[in-house]
């Protein structure tokens, strides 16, 4: 892990710092989008006592554990959003391959679209509905959209 990755990871981690309300049953949402490439970490995304995070357009590549949620043994299960809807898409997961023969919000229309035809399921409460076929990179269309 290089310095830049560690810096950004720390920044992202700060958003996930457990708010005290978490323990009162009202987890505070944090919006995280377009975080860096998460490559070859022990844990690609480390979520600590936090829910309702939105994580998309990340490249999770060859992490020992792509997503680690530190909620085990606690009454809360971390529930997060792992995509930005269609066609914006979700994340790139190096440990996932599927077929890309369909397109559309329900992946039931003919034609490939760079999104795997089936969701990437992390656990029962965490699913990337639009996992990317190729690592995410900014596209000219994104720049024009803002």
Per CB under 5 A, residues contacting Ca ion are 100, 102, 113, 115, 117
Shortest gap between Cβ of 112 and Ca ion (angstroms)?
5
Least separation, in Å, of the C-beta of 110 and Ca ion?
10
Q: Please compute Rg for the chain using Cα positions.
A: 16
What minimum distance in Å lies between the beta carbon of 89 and Ca ion? 10
Q: 71 or 100, CB closer to Ca ion?
A: 100
Q: Which is nearer to Ca ion, 54 or 102 (CB)?
A: 102
Three-state secondary structure readout of 50-92: CCCCECCCCEEECCCEEEEEECCCCCCCCCCECCCCCCCCCCE
Closest to Ca ion by CB, 23 vs 106, is: 106
Name every residue whose Cβ is closer than 8 Å to that of residue 91 and which is 6 or more positions away in sequence: 55, 56, 57, 58, 59, 60, 82, 83, 120, 128, 131, 132, 136
Closest CB to Ca ion: residue number:
100
Q: Do residues 35 and 55 lie in contact, with contact meaning Cβ atoms separated by under 8 Å?
A: yes
Nearer to Ca ion, 77 or 97 (CB): 97
Least separation, in Å, of the C-beta of 128 and Ca ion?
A: 13
| Whole-number Å distance between alpha carbons of 131 and 119 | 6
């Amino acid at each position: 892990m290089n310095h830049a990755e560690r810096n950004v990871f720390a920044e992202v981690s700060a958003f996930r710092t457990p708010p005290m309300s978490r323990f009162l049953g009202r987890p505070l949402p944090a919006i995280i989008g377009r975080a860096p490439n998460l490559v070859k970490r022990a844990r690609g995304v480390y979520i600590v006592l936090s829910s309702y995070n939105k994580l998309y357009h990340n490249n999770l590549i060859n992490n020992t554990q792509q997503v680690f949620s530190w909620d085990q043994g606690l009454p809360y299960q971390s529930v997060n959003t792992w995509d930005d809807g269609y066609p914006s898409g979700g994340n790139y997961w190096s440990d996932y391959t599927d077929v890309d023969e369909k397109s559309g919000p329900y992946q039931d229309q003919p034609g490939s679209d760079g999104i795997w035809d089936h969701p990437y399921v992390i656990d029962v409460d965490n699913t990337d509905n639009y996992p990317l076929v190729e690592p995410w990179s900014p596209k000219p269309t994104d720049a024009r959209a803002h």
